[in-house]
A and B are shown apart, each in its own frame.
Chain A
Amino acid sequence: MTALADTPTTAPARTARGVALDKLFEALCFGAATLLLAALGGLVVSLVIGGWPAFAKFGLTFFVSAEWDPVQEIYGAAGAVVGTLVSAGLALLFALPLALGVAIFLVELCPPMLRRPIGTAVELLAGIPSIVYGMWGLFAFAPWFAKHIQLPIMMSAKPGTIWETITSGVPNGAGILTASIVLAIMILPFISATMRELLLTIPAQVRESAYGLGSTTFEVIRKVSLPYVRTGAIGAVMLGLGRALGETMAVTFIIGNAHGFPTSIFASGSTIASTIANEFAEATGKLHTASLIALGLVLFVITFTVLALARLLIGRQAHA
């Protein structure tokens, strides 16, 4: 497949001009590839340099304090970090079973005629811009959610129980749980598309053997198909998690943007990305800007770890 690189470029038929152009062409292509590497490297370096004043001023307390006070110039990342992890974690919790269901439906159960239209429709969910999810979430979904789900749950919670604590909040629909649900819809098509591709890599004999032994669809999926694609499936989940962690606009609209640790699933919160989106353009001082960039670096480290793991796992599955 990569025979060109091995072709002897000194073949007698080659003109000197052809050889020179070949070298130039390869150098250009190499340069473009290196530029991508430089962009990622530059991104890390610029975040470290830009965030340095905040790390230098606050040291380790930057990571453990949840106080975020632009007036007194005290900044701590913990609230936003916890908000990011909680909202992305909840989103994954909702999205994973749904995505698995959709992928299995499309591969195993869907009537062939409907396979393409339904597959495309689910993929369209991935095409809707983040800001549209944000507007829909805030103006259409949150009011509905508040009226039909949040209020009944809050009313049914007995006073004094833990259940009451974790469901307390303003019943306006905007908060961590709503943001997680919208995030779940956004990452669902990514997870289900990867799962679907993985399920299609299973050799027909393997599945047919299981069916032939009298297994039900459920048993084939649970005991044959899923174990077969396990490594890649974990990778697909991590890929979805990576998306959810860095998602910005939708969360900024819906999560309510309150600093500090989230107190309940209905309470307002903030994530790293939403804090940056809200405050960066209007940052009050150098330290404020630096703290926001430092937050960005924290987000980069988290997502890089998750995405790198995802790629390694999916890659291993593809080559297995």
Chain B
Amino acid sequence: MTAATNTPGLRVSRRISEYAFLIFCWAATAVALLFLAAILFALLKQGLGGFLKPDGHGLDLDIFTRSTPAPGSQGGLLNAILGSIMMCVVAMVGAVAIGVMAGTWLSEFAGESRYGKVIRFLNDVLLSAPSILVGLFVYEILVAPLKGFSGLAGSVALALLAAPVITRTTEDVLRLQPTALREASVALGAPVWKTIWSVIWKSAQGGMLTGALLAFARISGETAPLLFTALNNQFLSLDLTKPTANLPVVIFNYALSAYDDWRRLAWAGALLIAATVLTVTVVARILAREPRRS
């Protein structure tokens, strides 16, 4: 790799540019890692404070047991945590159903058809489309006509963000399954749906789970589309047809507020979300590394 740098006859200018380049690559990686460390450090330093009693001694689990407070009083994030979990679960159920079916169609039925290519292309665009536009779309089709913000509208927005991720990973994983597997099943007389359901999906389930986890990681920290779909709710509510509290929007409102208590809760919430997302991401990566049965 660096054999050239040790060659005695190498011109000085070449040697200098080579060393400058190598140093730059090392430095670029160091800078990226430095930023990651700085972010995680700030998050831990500020966020852990929310889990301690105000005097700094002893664990304080108010975060998980009490709802968001009025300014100046004590409280936690219970309603926001519950709201976020409910909305994400509903969104994931919808997104998995749509994403797995759509990915299956692209891999097993679409072939090289023009319509298949169009959908594949547009799904990729939808995958990286700004999430705030998805929020505007859901506002236009659900919130404005029904004249009310609701947790369900938030779920629909999140599902629209998760479905393209699942579609893409499902298609990719199914394409990796060997054709012989399909032929063996069909040769035994199994109908196509049975072949896909009990053979192909079964064989690809690890990869599909990874895709679902990555999609979940993406939507659980998503804020922009919830600002004007789920809105917020100061009280504990399990009713998804009403405005629903959720962690990202609470963090956004509280972080920019003037109250120290609220900012403390915002940092604690940010730590909670980041920890969840990073854990899920790492688990998904580890699952993806497991050798797939073929």
Query: A residues engaging B (CB < 8 A)?
Result: 1-5, 7, 9, 13-15, 18-19, 21-22, 24-26, 28-37, 39-40, 42-43, 46-47, 49-50, 97-102, 104-106, 108-110, 118, 120-125, 127-136, 138-141, 185, 188-189, 192, 211, 214-219, 221, 239, 242-243, 245-249, 253, 273, 276-277, 280-281, 292-293, 296, 299-300, 303-304, 307-308, 311
Interface stretch, picked from B24-32, B68-76, B204-212, is B24-32
Q: How far apart are the CA atoms of A18 and B189 in the complex, in Å?
A: 10
A43 to B43, CA, bound (A): 35
Interface residues of B, dominant DSSP: helix
A132 contacts which chain B residues (CB < 8 A)? 39, 43, 221, 270, 273-274
Q: Which of B22, B27, B46, B231 has the most CB of A within 10 A?
A: B22
Query: With contacts A40-B122, A104-B25 known, is A7 near B192, CB below 8 A?
Result: yes
B87 interface residue (CB < 8 Å to A): no
Q: In chain B between 68 and 109, which residues have their CB closer than 8 angstroms to a CB of chain A? A: 97-102, 104-109
Which residue of A has the minimal Cβ distance to B45?
A140
Q: What are the residues of chain A within 8 A of B106 when measuring CB–CB? A: 33
How many residues from B make CB contacts under 8 Å with A? 107
Stretch of B48-56, B57-65, B125-133 lying at the A interface: B125-133
Q: How far is the CB of A283 from chain B (nearest CB, A)?
A: 9
Enumerate chain A residues within 8 angstroms of B104, measured Cβ to Cβ.
29
- Provide 10 A-B residue pairs closer than 8 Å at the C-beta atoms, listed in order of the A residue: A3-B183, A26-B109, A40-B129, A105-B25, A108-B25, A122-B32, A124-B36, A216-B17, A218-B20, A246-B131
Q: How far is the CA of A253 from the CA of B254 in the complex (A)?
A: 12
- Nearest chain A residue, comparing its CB with the CB of B130: A246
Within the complex, the shortest CB–CB distance from A123 to chain B, in Å, comes to 7
Q: Chain B residues with Cβ under 8 A from A39's Cβ?
A: 126, 137, 160, 163
Chain B window 103-147, contacts with chain A (Cβ cutoff 8 Å), 1 for yes, 0 for no = 011111111100010110111111011111110110111000000
Query: Closest approach, in angstroms, between the C-beta of B102 and any C-beta of chain A?
Result: 4
**A280 to B226, alpha carbons, bound, how many Å?**
11
Chain B nearest CB: distance from A220 CB in Å?
A: 9
Q: Is the CB of B28 within 8 A of A101?
A: yes
Given contacts A29-B109, A31-B101, A122-B33, contact A300 B277 (CB under 8 A): no
- Shortest Cβ-Cβ A-B pairs, 6 listed: A246-B130, A129-B221, A101-B28, A32-B101, A18-B191, A29-B105
The interface residues of chain B lying within 8 Å CB-to-CB of A249 are: 223-224, 248, 252
Nearest-neighbor residue (CB-CB) of A138 within chain B = B255
Q: Does B12 contact A (CB under 8 A)?
A: no
* Distance of A281 Cα from B144 Cα, bound (Å): 12
Residue among A1, A43, A136, A217 making CB contact with B4, cutoff 8 Å: A217
Decide: A277 near B109, CB < 8 A? Known: A36-B123, A97-B28, A132-B273: no
Instruction: Kindly state the separation between the CA atoms of A249 and B131 in the bound complex, as whole angstroms.
Output: 10
Q: Does B38 make an interface contact (CB < 8 A)? A: yes
Are B191 and A293 neighbours in the complex by a CB distance under 8 Å? Answer: no
- Beyond contacts A248-B130, A299-B132: 5 other A-B pairs, Cβ-Cβ < 8 A, are A4-B196, A29-B102, A47-B137, A216-B15, A280-B228
Q: Assess whether B128 is in contact with A242, with CB atoms less than 8 Å apart.
A: yes
Asked whether A128 and B39 contact (CB < 8 A) given A2-B111, A50-B136, the answer is: yes
